[in-house]
Amino acid sequence: MMACAPFTPLRLTSSRIGLGTWGLGGGTDWGGDGDEKDISSVIAAALDAGINLIDTAPAYGWGRAEERTGNAIKKCRSRVILADKCGIVRNESGRPDHDLRPKTVVSQCHASLRRLHTDYIDLYLIHWPDPKVPLTDVLETMERLREAGKIRAVGLCNVDGALLKQALSLTSVECVQNNLSLLHACQNEVLSICLERHIGFMAYGALGGGILSGKYKKQPNFRRADARRYFYKYYVGENFFKAQLTADRVKKVAERKKTPPSAVAAAWVLAQKGVSHVLCGARSVRQVRENAQAAGLTLTKEEMDFLEYGH
Ligand SMILES: NC(=O)c1ccc[n+]([C@@H]2O[C@H](COP(=O)([O-])OP(=O)(O)OC[C@H]3O[C@@H](n4cnc5c(N)ncnc54)[C@H](OP(=O)(O)O)[C@@H]3O)[C@@H](O)[C@H]2O)c1
């Protein structure tokens, strides 16, 4: 049975493993423009495997991930806990930019609701801090959306401890969403604040964008616009070979436990103190089924240390 964890103030219970839809949005971020995946069967497989948390954003394929998610969950909306985001827009040259001005947040929220075919978002997160806009203004706007019933909980992505503390002094925040994996294990300060303040920590990038599945025998040559070149930096230059050392350790533990490497990598994140949920991106039914196995996996202290330190 899939392990679940509450978003405390809401009494919402969601699976501890969530499905990320960045890669399912298609577009240049993840492969190529024509790379349309069958998102309905991936989402159906996730629900079948006990995963009811789905994370998306307008920036994923510039609306395509939301549209495809919305179409796929039309008939089962009430079974899904939807996390969505605001604050990344496409600028005049077509590139991503930060914009958390209140009017942008409100219009992005309305556009997301339309694309998702729903009238509420369970968890609405600021996708990236925007230093041009005072945090008070952003959080007040989120509060107004919450009061209007358009969103049910507020979260922050990509924050450090100082910004999280500032936000908590201004309003209630239910969840943080930050990058945490065996290749990016540096969230101790934020995790301890989350624990102390009883708020969720949703980890993303648990598979290092896929590299921790151990599937890359050779260094891949992704296009410049691919997220695995500009966002996850484990695929370029020397970093690839360093990441392979970790991926090899994941593979060894997976072989011993007769389980997929991706499940081991996600289980390591799930076991970190303070982590409530782990998002795994999946672009096929097989991947989602493999990743879901993380929820039932217990790693010993020796296995955890071996994965992190190699001894
Ligand atoms: N808040 C933020 O700023 C932020 C940033 C990044 C991500 N996120 C969210 O977090 C989610 C998860 O992160 P992520 O998708 O970026 O990275 P990830 O979960 O580390 O990696 C996902 C990718 O790994 C590959 N993969 C997944 N399962 C696999 C398996 N079992 N075997 C082999 N390959 C597998 C797939 O790509 P291929 O099949 O193409 O190799 C998949 O798209 C995102 O989808 C998004 O919803 C949020």
Q: Quick check: CB of 194 below 6 Å from ligand 1? A: no
Give the pLDDT confidence score for residue 36 in this predicted structure.
Answer: 62
> What's the 89 CA to ligand 1 centre distance in angstroms?
21
Residue nearest to atom 35 of ligand 1 (CA): 210
Give the pLDDT confidence score for residue 30 in this predicted structure.
Answer: 84
Rounded to an integer, the average pLDDT of 67-92 is: 95
> What's the 210 CA to ligand 1 centre distance in angstroms?
6
| Tens-digit pLDDT profile for residues 203-244 | 999 999 999 999 999 999 998 889 999 999 999 999 999 999
R_g (Cα) of the chain, nearest Å: 18
Q: Quick check: CB of 290 below 6 Å from ligand 1? A: yes
- pLDDT greater than 60 at residue 35: no
Which atom of ligand 1 is closest in space to residue 263's alpha carbon?
A: 31
Give the pLDDT confidence score for residue 4 in this predicted structure.
Answer: 77
> What's the 260 CA to ligand 1 centre distance in angstroms?
15
Mean pLDDT of all residues in the chain? 94
State the DSSP string of 19-63. Answer: EE-TGGG-SGGGS-TT----HHHHHHHHHHTT--EEE--TTTTTT
Give the pLDDT confidence score for residue 33 in this predicted structure.
Answer: 59
Instruction: Return the CATH number at 218.
Output: 3.20.20.100
Rounded to an integer, the average pLDDT of 180-206 is: 96
Q: How far is it, in rounded angstroms, from Cα 202 to Cα 218?
A: 31
Cα atoms found within 13 Å of the Cα of residue 123, Cβ hemisphere only: 34
- pLDDT greater than 90 at residue 28: no
Give the pLDDT confidence score for residue 105 in this predicted structure.
Answer: 98
Q: Which domain holds residue 170?
A: 4-309
Rounded to an integer, the average pLDDT of 152-166 is: 97
Among all residues, which ones are annotated catalytic?
60
Which atom of ligand 1 is closest in space to residue 215's alpha carbon?
A: 33
Rounded to an integer, the average pLDDT of 5-15 is: 68
> What's the 95 CA to ligand 1 centre distance in angstroms?
21
Domain count, the chain: 1
Rounded to an integer, the average pLDDT of 265-273 is: 97
Rounded to an integer, the average pLDDT of 153-177 is: 97
pTM attached to this predicted model = 0.96
Q: Quick check: CB of 209 below 6 Å from ligand 1? A: yes
